[in-house]
């Protein structure tokens, strides 16, 4: 049976190659290579962590809104209801849902970020 590398493995391979050649580049291209390597790492994390983060976001937004839907539908409605003042910090489950969603997105976008008070 032929097996192909998974998408996240390909992204990681490209990132490692960029990091390998970066020291040989002039300063401008070394910087651009670092940006590209960081982008590849984010892509790999999005591929591995994104589906679970989206599923959890859908579940949490569904709980807050009282109905199901797609991520985009629920997110659009949640934002509109927050903007209108219909949902506030006092709304049951809202703050926890937003905290969990932010934590999951940070794990993808900035995994080394440690908010104040965290270990």
When the pLDDT of each residue in the chain is averaged and rounded to a whole number, the result is 94
**pLDDT over 80 at 6, yes or no:** yes
pTM: 0.80
Instruction: Give the tens place of pLDDT for each residue, 13-62.
Output: 999 999 999 999 999 999 999 999 999 999 999 999 999 999 999 999 99
Q: Report whether 109 contacts 42 (CB < 8 A).
A: yes
d(CA 101, CA 74): 13
* Residue percentage of the chain with pLDDT more than 90: 87
Helices and strands of the chain, counted as H and E runs: 4, 0
Nearest to 39 by CA among 106, 104, 109, 101: 109
Nearest to 61 by CA among 88, 97, 86: 97
Position 116 scores a pLDDT of: 73
**Confidence tier at 114 by pLDDT (50, 70, 90):** confident
Signed CA dihedral, 65, 56, 89, 109: sign only: negative
């Amino acid at each position: 049976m032929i097996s192909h590398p998974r998408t996240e493995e390909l992204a990681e391979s490209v990132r490692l190659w960029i990091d390998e050649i970066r020291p040989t580049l002039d300063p401008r291209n070394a910087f651009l290579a670092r940006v590209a390597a960081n982008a590849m790492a984010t892509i790999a994390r999005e591929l591995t962590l994104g589906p679970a983060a989206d599923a959890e976001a859908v579940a949490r937004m569904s709980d807050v809104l009282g109905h199901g839907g797609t991520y985009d539908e629920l997110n659009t409605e949640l934002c509109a209801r927050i903007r209108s003042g219909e949902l506030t910090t006092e709304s049951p489950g809202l703050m926890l849902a937003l905290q969990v969603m932010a934590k999951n997105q940070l794990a993808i976008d900035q995994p080394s970020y440690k908010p104040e008070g965290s270990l």
